[in-house]
Copies of this chain bind each other. A is one copy, B any other.
């Protein structure tokens, strides 16, 4: 099917998706969960074919690991769907209601966005997770997974489509793209597609952002900082710095740069290095750092580098203001943490660092939809428009204003025959 036709179908389906009641959506989710369990063998068989082909094509072993979709992973995504069923429907919530005048009532009500395009790499669980999030939020979805997972993705998409359509969802709400050319076509469909969510490497996300007029939700770099203030508890600072850097290095919320207040650097850095050494963390330091601990010289480029590895850059700063300035200059607006017992500095840091997630005495690794209690995560956004930070179901909705009158016309107000009352009424359309 050509992509434009796919978009037209998805668009027709989107109108009907927007009108689904919560029960229908939850029933569809339950049937999808059941169908995934019932078709376990078929899924694993398809995944084995993907694994075999990818091994032959010498796919790197971390990627092979992410590609693997076994019984445990199937059970995990089914658990995910069950918890999604338990979440409040994000559509149809009344955010505001005002009586503009007698008999003229305004309601601001959440609604789906429409059509979401998702492009993700390797992990097939992303397909299940994201398509079910789109279902619950009433959106149509175009999905493109990695080539390496194509058999698995095909089987998963078919299962989800069949089970959901049997439960009353409109055909066309879920669509799987299969080629790179399809993606390039999709990026041109700004007339139909409302939002693109890319999940993958920096270069990949940047390519999408640079090659489409469709709004993109996500993040390219994740250059996260930990700033150790003068009044930090140094044991705490070491613990948080080590966790932020090493708890899982290949992810966007891992710290890449450590900023250290000059007043405590001589005491702090050697103790920190001892811990980093245990984890084989390579250090690039500024001049001051190099005088205190053994480290490679950091260049300007290091401050803007996302290592995604057991590597960190360290810079000594005069005070919280210099730390804030550094972060706002080199950071990516993702997640930054201050370690201090000085409340004034902490509040200043959290107010002035221009990032979606600003922490006080906590590891940057906490930036995550599940940890935040959102139940499910579409991704993490570094944009300041629409959704920012970890994006859950709410990030897949928009809203519309519904105005209910009794033949009201503006001329009556323009000519002062009537005037507005603007009284909050706190109710929903019944």
Contact = CB atoms under 8 A, between A and B. Distances in A.
Interface of A: 14-15, 18-19, 98, 100, 104, 106, 108, 111, 113-114, 194-195, 215, 217, 233, 235-236, 239-240, 242-243, 247-248, 324, 328, 339, 346-348, 350-352, 354-363, 365-367, 371-373, 383-386, 388-390, 398-411, 413-414, 420, 422, 429
Contacts of A352: 15, 18-19
A386 B398 CA distance: 8
A100 B371 contact: yes
A373 B113 CA distance: 25
A410 B240 CA distance: 9
A360 B402 contact: yes
A100 B374 CA distance: 11
B420 A371 contact: yes
A88 to B, nearest CB: 12
Nearest to A15: B352
B113 A409 contact: no
A41 to B, nearest CB: 31
A100 B215 contact: no
A363 B409 contact: yes
Contacts of A113: 384-385
A21 to B, nearest CB: 11
What is the count of identical protomers in the complex? 2
A414 B351 contact: no
B372 A407 contact: no
A401 B365 contact: no
Contacts of A355: 400
Contacts of A18: 351-352, 354
Contacts of A242: 409
A105 B324 CA distance: 22
A356 B400 CA distance: 5
Given A19-B351, A384-B114, A104 B362 contact: yes
A361 B406 contact: yes
Given A233-B407, A371-B100, A402-B360, A386 B388 contact: no
Q: Is the interface of A mostly helix, strand, loop or mixed?
A: mixed
* Residue among A98, A389, A404 having the largest count of chain B Cβ atoms under 10 Å: A404
* Residue among A14, A239, A405, A422 having the largest count of chain B Cβ atoms under 10 Å: A405
A100 B373 contact: yes
8 closest cross-chain pairs (CB), A and B: A362-B405, A243-B409, A373-B422, A236-B407, A365-B410, A384-B398, A385-B386, A359-B403
A399 B388 contact: yes
Contacts of A385: 113, 194-195, 215, 217, 385-386, 398
B410 A373 contact: no
Contact of A386 (B19, B236, B386): B386
A401 B363 CA distance: 14
29 contacts: A15-B354, A98-B372, A100-B371, A104-B366, A106-B373, A108-B389, A114-B384, A195-B385, A236-B407, A239-B409, A240-B409, A242-B409, A247-B409, A247-B411, A247-B414, A248-B414, A339-B407, A346-B404, A357-B400, A359-B402, A361-B404, A362-B403, A362-B404, A363-B409, A373-B420, A384-B398, A385-B386, A388-B398, A388-B399
B411 A243 contact: yes
